[in-house]
């Protein structure tokens, strides 16, 4: 791991129904070489289940872990949720599902505090599909209860064979209040209602598990183009790639961040690796999508025939 990457801390924002502890299997690989990371509980999750979830509150939580806020924080923090890091540098922000929604908002509002942005298992379905999923989730929670819903969700979402990883997600979701699950799901499903996709500022990677049944490859590639970013795949993983395949997830993330280090080192830097076949992990550049705020492209007379 390069010195520049080791010096850039990770801010890890957990998936829907998860908490900071769900990052534990990945931390072993993400923090290799002495890299530091923080993984806070979002409001209503983990040690904060008594709090209501709001996107504003989640954004405040993420902002509190950026460089310009760390000086004001208490030193009394749970050791299993984070590793201390230098407070004078921007962070590499990584968000999965619900955490990706918060990460995107953070990068837009505080771009100077974010070196790079990685969105995992994002975007969720929009339109009628989003409304249908919210109604279905509410009905399942009402009929089965949170504990049974959590077990079914974890079993149906994680592809990996390790029962301990599945148990991390199940326990976290089972301890989360139904209202929090619904409010946070509503916020995630409505992510583009108020603001259409546009480049957030920092370099961006849109990452999905190769077997993610909730976010298809076309949707992820399209979002990467809209955000002016890169599309990446984690081999063998489903929707929650950081829990399914933590080592492969960390490797793709490291490649992305190494590419930023090389770019910062100057024009002689070696370009980042491009993805191989669909079954392998990796990243690939995506042609940028022209946004409505961009100037119209002038077409040649021959192009209009």
pLDDT tens for each residue of 31-64: 988 899 999 999 999 999 999 999 999 999 999 9
Crossing angle between the packed helical segments 146-157 and 163-174, to the nearest 10 degrees: 150
pLDDT at 77: 39
Q: Which of 78, 37, 34, 3 is nearest to 242 (CA)?
A: 37
pLDDT at 79 > cutoff 50: no
Integer Cα distance of 269 and 276 in angstroms = 21
Question: In the structure, what pLDDT confidence band is assigned to residue 287 with cuts at 50, 70 and 90?
Answer: low
pLDDT tens for each residue of 207-243: 999 999 999 999 999 999 999 999 999 999 999 999 9
**Single pTM value for the model:** 0.83
- Give the residues across from 232 on adjacent strands: 207, 283
pLDDT tens for each residue of 85-114: 444 578 999 999 999 999 999 999 898 899
pLDDT tens for each residue of 237-265: 999 999 999 999 999 999 999 889 888 87
Percent of the chain residues topping a pLDDT of 90: 63
Can you list the alpha helix ranges (DSSP code H) found in 64-162? 67-70, 98-109, 127-144, 146-157
In contact, 205 and 119? CB cutoff 8 Å: yes
Q: Pick left, alpha or beta for residue 266 (phi over 0 → left; psi -120 to 50 → alpha; otherwise beta).
A: left
Integer Cα distance of 298 and 80 in angstroms = 55
Q: Which of 116, 98, 93, 105 is nearest to 38 (CA)?
A: 93
């Amino acid at each position: 791991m390069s010195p520049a990457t080791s010096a850039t801390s990770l801010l890890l924002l957990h998936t829907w129904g998860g908490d900071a502890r769900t990052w534990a299997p990945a931390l072993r690989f993400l923090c290799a070489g002495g890299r530091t990371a923080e993984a806070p509980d979002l409001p209503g999750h983990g040690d904060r289940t008594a709090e209501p979830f709001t996107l504003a509150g989640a954004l405040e939580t993420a902002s509190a872990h950026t460089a310009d806020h760390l000086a004001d924080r208490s030193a009394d923090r749970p050791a299993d949720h984070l590793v201390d890091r230098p407070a004078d540098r921007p962070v590499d922000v990584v968000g999965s599902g619900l955490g990706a929604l918060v990460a995107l908002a953070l990068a837009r509002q505080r771009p100077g505090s974010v070196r790079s942005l990685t969105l995992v298992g994002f975007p969720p379905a929009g339109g009628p599909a989003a409304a249908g999923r919210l109604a279905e989730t509410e009905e399942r929670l009402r009929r089965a209860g949170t504990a049974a819903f959590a077990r079914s969700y974890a079993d149906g979402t994680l592809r990996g064979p390790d029962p301990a990883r599945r148990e991390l997600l199940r326990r976290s979701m089972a301890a989360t209040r139904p209202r929090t699950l619904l409010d946070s799901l509503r916020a995630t499903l409505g992510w583009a209602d108020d603001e259409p996709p546009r480049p957030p500022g920092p370099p961006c990677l849109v990452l999905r598990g190769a077997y993610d049944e909730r976010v298809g490859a076309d949707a992820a590639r399209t979002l990467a183009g809209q955000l002016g970013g890169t599309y990446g795949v984690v081999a063998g993983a489903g929707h929650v790639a950081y829990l399914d395949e933590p080592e492969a997830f960390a490797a793709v993330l490291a490649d992305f961040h190494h590419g930023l280090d090389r770019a910062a080192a100057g024009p002689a830097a070696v370009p980042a690796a491009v993805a191989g076949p669909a079954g392998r992990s990796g990243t690939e550049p995506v042609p940028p999508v022209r946004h409505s705020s961009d100037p119209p492209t002038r077409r040649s007379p021959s192009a209009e025939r």
